[in-house]
Amino acid sequence: MSAKRILVVCGTGVATSTVVVQKVRAFCESEGIDATISQGAVADLVSGSPNADLIVATTQVPATVTIPVVHGLPFLTGMGVDAVHAQLREHLA
């Protein structure tokens, strides 16, 4: 089975996505999920179809995106992380 491709996006592709990438990577490692995780800006989603199986976003994602999206704000606030972990398990299983 090939590695799942996860794209983490925030408004600029720098600050919050960096934090979330680290937390998603730690989660995947703890669950034994083989994943390639990259980061970018939400504007990258408008300019083309990203090469990803799942998007974790800390900002609003355009409705035109057809890839499943998990909202990653709980990784920043600490509230609702268990629900996000459950969503990640569901999409990455």
Domain boundaries, position 47: 4-92
Note if the pTM is more than 0.85. yes
pLDDT tens digits, residue range 13-71? 888 999 999 999 999 999 999 999 999 999 988 877 788 999 999 999 999 999 999 99
Rg (CA), the chain: 12
Q: Residue 51 is part of a domain; what is its CATH number?
A: 3.40.50.2300
The total number of structural domains in the chain stands at: 1
For 82-87, what is the mean pLDDT? 97
The amino acid sitting at 72 is G
Catalytic annotation, residues = 10
Quote the pLDDT of residue 1: 61
